Amino acid sequence: MGFRIYLIITLAYWAFTLTDGAIHMLVVLHFHALGFAPLKIAMLFLFYEVFGILTNGVGGWVATRIGLNRTMIIGGFLQVFALGMLTVDPSWLTVEYVMAAMALSGIAKDLNKMSAKSSVKLVAPKGENAESRLFRWVAVLTGSKNTLKGAGFFLGGLLLYTIGFQLALAFMAAGLCLVYLLTWWVLPSGLGMGKSKAKFSQLFSKSSEINLLSGARFFLFGSRDVWFVVGLPVFLASVTGWNHLEVGGFLALWVVCYGFVQAGAPLLLGKHPPQGSSARNWALLLAAFPAGIALALSQGLNPAWTLMIGLYLFGAIFAINSSVHSYLILAYSDQEKVAMNVGFYYMANAAGRLTGTVLSGWAYQTQGLTGCLWWSTGFVLAAGVLSWWLPPVPAQEKAVVVAGE
């Protein structure tokens, strides 16, 4: 029964993630083609990230009251509506209108992600080796999600190249609507609903390890988006001269490979699940890569080859960092508070993406891609410093999951 629910959640999450990656690539490339400056393109995603922060903060509290199944379905249909909003006549697509549509997409995405990842803690098998099994299930869900997001980048570039902006969005809205109608029908009700109604005052974590991990997550994802969201695709389109399909394909392949590494993290890290020290060590290793790419570009090395090699190395180490974090947030949480803790943690994640997105547009416009990369290096080092104080996974974690049998 647990695996069946996990499979339903995963399939719905995959479908959502395809549209999430595609809408990002469609918006960035379409509005770059219309002549928007990098900072203005970044601002189109401002409310996407702002409302993601708010959604993660409140979403976990809401899920404990109405159930994770309902928050996931609500997220799916909000994404359908957001996609539909962008299919209007091009004259309607003002900056403010697109920002509003992306705000709904941000709410949808973080409701969906919080629901899917929290559910894994509840449906994962209990008993002997429960921690290792939880790590594998989380890694597969998260890694496959990122692989599909990469496919979404490619899908967005392909659809923009072949059928245009409005038709691409309409096609995705129709497909996602069908998926979530089926999910609504087959997903059991009451999943993740708390035994007692959580108080709103419990929204913010009072656990030091959750707070430290959330702070590290803020800087980790800020370090990626400060060069990946705006600076990198605009650089590839304007400096290397790649077309929309080539940019979308390259970034898609990067995210697909990133997802494969993330899904395979349990094999790469061995049979023992990560500890708090793992987050520190992998973050400090990651910092070498954006710094190395920045130095290579400043020395005049071929930018296309430098970025292709450097970006894939960065992605592999970043994927392991993210997988370690995704396991630790569940391992540090008990079952009653898992939705609240995951919501708080992804609130920090969304705040990091927001900061990185805005900085990406500003830093690229004022300092170029090299400047974006130095910002990325600083953010990764900050994540490593915060991770220094993360404790080992509590010994009672095994006792907690066994007691739930």
Whether pLDDT at 189 is above 70: no
Q: How far apart are CA 277 and CA 244, in angstroms?
A: 41
pLDDT of residue 176: 93
Please give the helix or strand (H or E) that residue 95 lies within, else none.
Answer: helix 95-123
The answer to the question of residue 198 being in a domain is no
Q: Of 48-62, 192-206, 261-275, which range is least confident?
A: 192-206
Mean pLDDT of 34-51: 80
Report the number of distinct structural domains present in the chain: 1
Q: pLDDT tens digit string along 77-96? A: 999 999 999 888 888 888 88
The answer to the question of residue 354 being in a domain is yes
Residue of 59 and 21 predicted with greater confidence: 21
The answer to the question of residue 229 being in a domain is yes
pLDDT of residue 36: 80
Q: Of 29-38, 124-133, 175-184, 299-308, which range is least confident?
A: 124-133
Whether pLDDT at 405 is above 50: no
pLDDT band at 381 (very low <50, low <70, confident <90, very high): very high
Mean pLDDT of 108-124: 76
Question: In CATH, what number is assigned to the domain containing residue 182?
Answer: 1.20.1250.20
Q: Pick the closest to residue 220 from 326, 95, 96, 78 (CA basis).
A: 326
The answer to the question of residue 405 being in a domain is no
DSSP label at residue 43: H
The answer to the question of residue 258 being in a domain is yes
The answer to the question of residue 333 being in a domain is yes
pLDDT of residue 94: 83
pLDDT of residue 295: 95
pLDDT band at 121 (very low <50, low <70, confident <90, very high): low
Give 349's Cβ-side CA count (13 Å radius).
21
Burial class, 380, CB count within 10 angstroms (exposed 0-12 / middle 13-18 / buried 19+): buried
The answer to the question of residue 351 being in a domain is yes
93 SS3 class: coil
Residue 123: give the domain boundaries: 2-189+205-392
pLDDT of residue 220: 95
Handedness of CA 258, 155, 350, 303 (dihedral sign): positive
Mean pLDDT of 357-376: 90
The answer to the question of residue 403 being in a domain is no
pLDDT of residue 231: 83
pLDDT of residue 399: 33
Residue of 67 and 277 predicted with greater confidence: 277
